[in-house]
Amino acid sequence: MQDCTDSNKFTAYRMLIFETAIISVIALLMVLGISVEVASSVLVGGLAFIIPNAYFTRYVFRYSAADSPQFALKGFYLGELIKFVTTVLIFTLGFLLIEKLNVLILVLTYISTLTFNLWGNSIFMHNLAIKAEKMKNKDGD
């Protein structure tokens, strides 16, 4: 079971790194092509999703559910709490510290990053189901 947990952890972190790279490139392009205001909005919107989810991922995978279900559940709840608080904190700090933010761009970036994450995870889960089915059929032969 540990291999599955390690694989899921690796995939979750890989998704976060990929999302960070995409947000960084988009923000850089916005600075060069449009404005600092739009780039700042993209950065705050993206980081408001990425940073809390990095903390969540850290706490969720701290314990394996197979080894310690109680600690795994506590890690999940703690991760969710930290994710929520961190998201609110990043949005709040973004509005307080950056004078000019485009709220529409900020929210669209947050929603787009969330959507991309859900889409990426659904593809991962689909591929995992296909692998499990292949292994089941291989073992059943």
Q: Domains in the chain: how many in total?
A: 1
Nearest to 61 by CA among 99, 102, 8: 8
Instruction: For residue 34, give both structure tokens.
Output: 């449009």
List, in order, residues 6 or more apart from 45 with CB less than 8 Å away.
105, 106, 107, 108, 109, 110, 113
Domain annotation covers residue 120: no
Domain annotation covers residue 126: no
Three-state SS at 17: helix
Instruction: For residue 43, give both structure tokens.
Output: 């950065």
Which residues form the domain of 65?
2-115
pLDDT band at residue 36 under the 50/70/90 scheme:
confident
Domain annotation covers residue 124: no
Domain annotation covers residue 134: no
The DSSP code sequence of 39-94 is HHHHHHHHHHHHHHHHHHHHHHTSS-TTT-HHHHHHHHHHHHHHHHHHHHHHHHHH
Q: Percent of the chain at pLDDT above 90?
A: 15
Decide: 41 and 109 in contact? Cβ < 8 Å. yes
Rounded CA separation 75/98 (Å): 33
Quick check: 128 pLDDT over 80? no
Quick check: 108 pLDDT over 80? yes
pLDDT at residue number 1: 43
Comparing 25 with 61, the larger pLDDT belongs to 25
Average pLDDT for 10-21: 84
Quick check: 118 pLDDT over 90? no
pLDDT band at residue 88 under the 50/70/90 scheme:
very high
Domain annotation covers residue 98: yes
Domain annotation covers residue 141: no
pLDDT at residue number 86: 93
Quick check: 2 pLDDT over 50? no
